[in-house]
A and B are shown apart, each in its own frame.
Chain A
């Protein structure tokens, strides 16, 4: 693999184990590879033209902060080419920075097992990973053991890593890239003891300071090749002669200046966009686009084993406010069909104000699929058909909530409150279903409650014989009801802490025609109200 250095010399970026056997190593100029007899047959013709062989070289870097590693990507099959059994003939492929970066990202995610803070080096073509391992080493049995484990983990992946652990990112990076000990066969990691950053840096070339090319060239012209030489120069003049970057990097390396770790966020974005050639108002086109985009988003989600919990779709109109079609789900889903149906339900109710110029679909909230459907409703046998049915029920909840609104599809939860209308709560099914609350039930000794509870008690013209006794007759609508049986009173006095004291005497009553109602007399003024009916 090749690497185009600053001076236009092609050099190897990464190579496979087989290539290593042939004597090729990363950092080797391409011209030297050409000199190896068995490697020459596939050698690209234009030697001078800068080419990078595909594959990637990266270094992982952490310190007290970071270890730093250098990976050699085994692009075995590419290097060995089509004749793997006989004398292997390396294939030399051009370097592909985006692919390199992607591979490094994957590795960064993998490194999450060693540190919660993994970052990619902040450079145009990053080749190092930075791991903040402050205070973590003891979990792995010390820094040396940690470094060993990282090297081993990379090795299992077929990668050779250089790991350096140092007090600062700068030192770790410098040591990982330029330490002279890498040439020796046994070395795969280096640990710079605390406080010895400067000592470790001194013998290294000035390139190890992550400086711009121009500054490095200038320093070389002045005969400054090593960091220890730089140290001897008066600090005041460094900035004015070489620019602020030199001092910044220098200070970062020796820990005089803090350097943030640009943490790599492993959760990728799940989104897809589409713009029609011309703005369109045709719903069929928009639906087709939505369906396609949802399928794309779901495909990426499946790969990371996650499901959509909230899907945001946006239709950008020319000159109008974007139309928002957001659907929430009862449980994570990766069914493109189901998601599309939910969006469609939404779209049906939308009147487009302007032709649509762009369609965006994004999975705004996702959740791991592993916990899919743990018997939210079916505690029973848990066999296939019941699981199937519960999935269909979840789909129903999604559809209902999508069209009617989240708050319109609820589960009832009994709350201990004496006031009847506050004795239960509506828990939207689309949220919080995972946190199960302790189930309560109404105290069994309470008198029966009516199946219908009016949202607002209706004031009734009623008469009673005894001043504090049950009612005798009352009017409801056009009907006059004669009370023949009463049960009660059940006195409920509560709510003073809410600022609305409730004092009521409830009576269950039966009328002459056998109908049953729940009435109360307000203690404050003795007025009668109908609060519920025993349907």
Chain B
């Protein structure tokens, strides 16, 4: 009984070492970046996103809520005072709303890179910069090679790359550490006006793929928590055997 917590710490350390070895990176004990969404953290093997990795957020159509979740992770990453770079292609990003999600506007740099080449270049540069905690971007096409290059770039900086892509990209090869699919769900009567989202963990290095979690976001208080009805129906959680 006494050595149980010790064991779990050891397991966590070993797991971290294994992933480091897999990635060919030096062993470090850096704390992961929380996703800003507790239920999602619990799906991830390290309870957050690893530093120096890319995260793909797939969603379809407008108004899905995916950016709210991604910005939650960005806000958590920027808590150390480093910058958040938003590469806005269409000039529609609205910083006042981001400020409400906890983004410090002093730390936010919005970059307008309309052309494809410019966007790819700016993304690479921003990911590579150690002064940047997180980069939020909407890359349109991403072939395997340029994806790999982005991953190498972000490894240099220990930042977090948040790539928002259409769900059609789920069949493409990925160099992202974590790939998530976000689906809006119809509101439920007991939801009290909170928006309901389902997050599928499509792919995760060192974790168990294919799980999903339902969360609800309170627009007013800007908090994300587990949707109550799924807290009861733990169908997806059963597989978390470890």
Once the chains are docked, how many angstroms separate the CA of A420 from the CA of B100? Answer: 14
Cβ contacts under 8 Å, A485 to chain B: 187, 193
Q: Does B68 contact A (CB under 8 A)?
A: yes
| A413 x B113 contact (CB < 8 A) | no
Assuming the contacts A449-B94, A451-B67, A515-B61, asked whether A396 and B108 have C-beta atoms less than 8 A apart, the reply is: no
| A511 x B63 contact (CB < 8 A) | yes
| B91 x A455 contact (CB < 8 A) | yes
Assuming the contacts A414-B99, A448-B220, asked whether A535 and B66 have C-beta atoms less than 8 A apart, the reply is: yes
Minimal beta-carbon separation of B78 from chain A (angstroms): 10
Q: Does A389 contact B (CB under 8 A)?
A: yes
Number of A-B residue pairs at CB separation under 8 A: 169
Give per-residue flags for B84-120: 1 if the beta carbon is below 8 A from chain A beta carbons, else 0: 0000001111111111110001111111110000100
Assuming the contacts A404-B113, A411-B105, A439-B105, asked whether A515 and B63 have C-beta atoms less than 8 A apart, the reply is: yes
| B62 x A451 contact (CB < 8 A) | no
| A392 x B92 contact (CB < 8 A) | no
- In the complex formed, the residue of B with least CB distance to A394 is B131
Assuming the contacts A414-B105, A439-B105, asked whether A379 and B122 have C-beta atoms less than 8 A apart, the reply is: no
Assuming the contacts A392-B129, A510-B187, asked whether A451 and B94 have C-beta atoms less than 8 A apart, the reply is: yes
| B67 x A388 contact (CB < 8 A) | no
Once the chains are docked, how many angstroms separate the CA of A176 from the CA of B92? Answer: 71
Cβ contacts under 8 Å, B113 to chain A: 404, 408
Minimal beta-carbon separation of B89 from chain A (angstroms): 11
Minimal beta-carbon separation of B195 from chain A (angstroms): 6
Cβ contacts under 8 Å, B195 to chain A: 510, 514, 516, 534
Minimal beta-carbon separation of A421 from chain B (angstroms): 9
Number of A residues near B (Cβ < 8 Å) is: 61
Q: Does A429 contact B (CB under 8 A)?
A: yes
Among the listed B62, B125, B130, B219, which residue makes an inter-chain contact with A389, where contact means beta carbons less than 8 Å apart? B130
| A455 x B118 contact (CB < 8 A) | no
| B130 x A517 contact (CB < 8 A) | no
Q: Does A257 contact B (CB under 8 A)?
A: no
- In the complex formed, the residue of A with least CB distance to B103 is A412
Among the listed A395, A396, A411, which residue makes an inter-chain contact with B110, where contact means beta carbons less than 8 Å apart? A411
Once the chains are docked, how many angstroms separate the CA of A149 from the CA of B193? Answer: 78
Residues of chain A from 395 to 437 with CB closer than 8 A to chain B in the complex: 395-397, 399-400, 403-404, 407-414, 420, 423-424, 426, 429
| A534 x B110 contact (CB < 8 A) | no
Once the chains are docked, how many angstroms separate the CA of A152 from the CA of B194? Answer: 78
Q: Does A277 contact B (CB under 8 A)?
A: no
Minimal beta-carbon separation of A376 from chain B (angstroms): 8
Minimal beta-carbon separation of A484 from chain B (angstroms): 6
Q: Does B64 contact A (CB under 8 A)?
A: yes
Once the chains are docked, how many angstroms separate the CA of A426 from the CA of B105? Answer: 11
Q: Does A453 contact B (CB under 8 A)?
A: yes
Minimal beta-carbon separation of A517 from chain B (angstroms): 5
Cβ contacts under 8 Å, B38 to chain A: none
- In the complex formed, the residue of A with least CB distance to B158 is A389
Q: Does A322 contact B (CB under 8 A)?
A: no
Q: Does A320 contact B (CB under 8 A)?
A: no
Once the chains are docked, how many angstroms separate the CA of A20 from the CA of B168? Answer: 91
Minimal beta-carbon separation of A457 from chain B (angstroms): 12
Q: Does A452 contact B (CB under 8 A)?
A: yes
| B81 x A378 contact (CB < 8 A) | yes
Cβ contacts under 8 Å, B98 to chain A: 412, 451
Which of the listed residues A389, A390, A391, A476 has the most CB atoms from chain B within 10 Å of its own CB?
A: A389
Q: Does B132 contact A (CB under 8 A)?
A: yes
Residues of chain A from 430 to 481 with CB closer than 8 A to chain B in the complex: 439, 441-442, 448-455, 476, 479
Cβ contacts under 8 Å, A453 to chain B: 92, 94, 97
| B81 x A380 contact (CB < 8 A) | yes
- In the complex formed, the residue of A with least CB distance to B97 is A449
Once the chains are docked, how many angstroms separate the CA of A429 from the CA of B106? Answer: 11
Once the chains are docked, how many angstroms separate the CA of A442 from the CA of B95? Answer: 10
Cβ contacts under 8 Å, A379 to chain B: 81
Assuming the contacts A379-B81, A409-B111, asked whether A392 and B65 have C-beta atoms less than 8 A apart, the reply is: no
| B61 x A408 contact (CB < 8 A) | no
Cβ contacts under 8 Å, B108 to chain A: 411-412
Which of the listed residues A392, A393, A535 has the most CB atoms from chain B within 10 Å of its own CB?
A: A535
| A534 x B111 contact (CB < 8 A) | no
Q: Does A533 contact B (CB under 8 A)?
A: yes
Cβ contacts under 8 Å, B126 to chain A: 396, 400
Kindly list 16 other residue pairs between chains A and B, CB separation below 8 angstroms, not including A393-B83, A399-B125.
Answer: A377-B82, A408-B112, A409-B111, A412-B99, A426-B110, A448-B97, A449-B100, A450-B94, A450-B97, A451-B68, A476-B62, A484-B186, A516-B65, A516-B195, A534-B195, A535-B68
The 8 closest A-B pairs by CB, nearest first: A393-B131, A514-B184, A412-B95, A515-B63, A535-B67, A453-B94, A449-B97, A389-B131
A-B contact pairs, 16 of them (CB 8 A): A377-B131, A380-B80, A388-B130, A395-B129, A396-B125, A396-B129, A400-B125, A408-B113, A411-B110, A412-B95, A450-B97, A452-B93, A479-B61, A513-B186, A533-B62, A533-B63
Binding site for B on A (CB under 8 A): 377-380, 386, 388-397, 399-400, 403-404, 407-414, 420, 423-424, 426, 429, 439, 441-442, 448-455, 476, 479, 484-485, 487, 508, 510-517, 532-535
